[in-house]
Amino acid sequence: MRLDGRVAVITGAGSGIGAASALAMAKEGARVVVVDLNEASAKATVEQIEKAGGQALAVRADVTRATDNQMIVEKAVAAWGRLDVFFANAGVPQSPENVEDVDEALFDRIMAVNVKGVWLGAKYALPVMKKQRRGVFLITASTAAIRPRPGVQAYAASKGAVVTLTKSLALEAASHGVRVVSIAPVATETPMLPAFMGKRVVDDEGRARYVATVPRLRRRGDDHGHLRRSGRRPLHMTGSPTLRR
């Protein structure tokens, strides 16, 4: 198994890409700290992992808080003695709106979760990895960072910020044997998709219209690119956003 004996922290792991990643990494042998603001969702992911024979720990945390990020890392190390993968996946979406109609509080929330939350994760995870002289810090970016869509300017800016943050952190971490990589997925069928579509739920008409605008609409769990980037083999890859189509 590619991640046998490794310890992984995944934020936003109660649903969507985070939950799928937690299940996939556990299947490959990782012991997973499942982090989510919704404790019930985190526990549900852990239950699925344990039913499949894996090991996992549910942690409720707000990634915008420094104390919560510190606590996440401390729990991982206390439980299993190491930290090999930190997947900063938690994020919030933006429904399409003209910039003049976007509430300032929404902008602040998007930046707090999508940018500050990643930075805080790195602040507490990277020192552990540097000391170990091994580890991978993964970040969920988005194709919006590179090919933004109309009306989601705050979200696109937040993902552009983490792509640049990836490069900066990678330069800092490289001499310690630690890699930093961002993954830029296209539209994925997760609980966030309705917001991106400006709908309450994803209906057949909305899905068909959205699918027509992207190369391929991926379903939850359809992409295991995070495994390839967190395992032993891609030692040459750091600092680069990887497009997932």
What local confidence, expressed as pLDDT, does residue 149 receive?
83
- Of the listed ranges 20-24, 146-150, 159-163, the one predicted with least confidence: 146-150
Evaluate whether residue 26 is within a structural domain: yes
Evaluate whether residue 173 is within a structural domain: yes
Question: What pLDDT band is residue 197 in, cutting at 50, 70 and 90?
Answer: low
What local confidence, expressed as pLDDT, does residue 217 receive?
45
The residue range of the domain holding 198 is: 7-227+238-244
In this structure, what CATH number is given to the domain that contains residue 22? 3.40.50.720
195-199 contacts at long range (C-beta below 8 A, 24 or more positions apart): 195/93, 195/94, 195/95, 196/93, 196/94, 196/95, 196/96, 196/152, 198/95, 198/96
Which whole number is the average pLDDT over 11-36?
96
Count helices and strands (H / E) in the chain. 9, 9
Evaluate whether residue 171 is within a structural domain: yes
Backbone CA torsion sign across 234, 122, 244, 218:
positive
Mean pLDDT (the chain, rounded): 87
Considering 68-77, 205-214, 235-244, the range whose residues carry the highest mean pLDDT is 68-77
At 62, list the tokens.
Answer: 């707000």
Domain total for the chain? Answer: 1
- What size, in residues, is the chain? 245
> Whose CA is closest to 134, among 90, 183, 178?
178
pLDDT, greater one: 38 or 211: 38
Which whole number is the average pLDDT over 30-53?
98
155 is catalytic: yes
Evaluate whether residue 232 is within a structural domain: no
Evaluate whether residue 14 is within a structural domain: yes
Is residue 81 over pLDDT 60? yes
Question: What pLDDT band is residue 53 in, cutting at 50, 70 and 90?
Answer: very high
Q: Where are the alpha helices (DSSP H) in 56-192?
A: 66-80, 104-111, 117-132, 153-173
pTM for the model = 0.81
Q: Which amino acid is at 63?
A: V
Evaluate whether residue 233 is within a structural domain: no
Q: Which amino acid is at 5?
A: G
CA distance 27 to 24: 5
Is residue 134 over pLDDT 90? yes
Evaluate whether residue 169 is within a structural domain: yes
Contact 91, 115 (CB under 8 A): no
E-strand spans in the chain?
Answer: 7-11, 31-36, 56-60, 85-88, 135-140, 178-185, 188-189, 218-219, 241-244
Q: Of these residues, 87, 137, 155, 196, which one is catalytic?
A: 155
Evaluate whether residue 75 is within a structural domain: yes
Look up tokens 């490959």; give the residue: 28
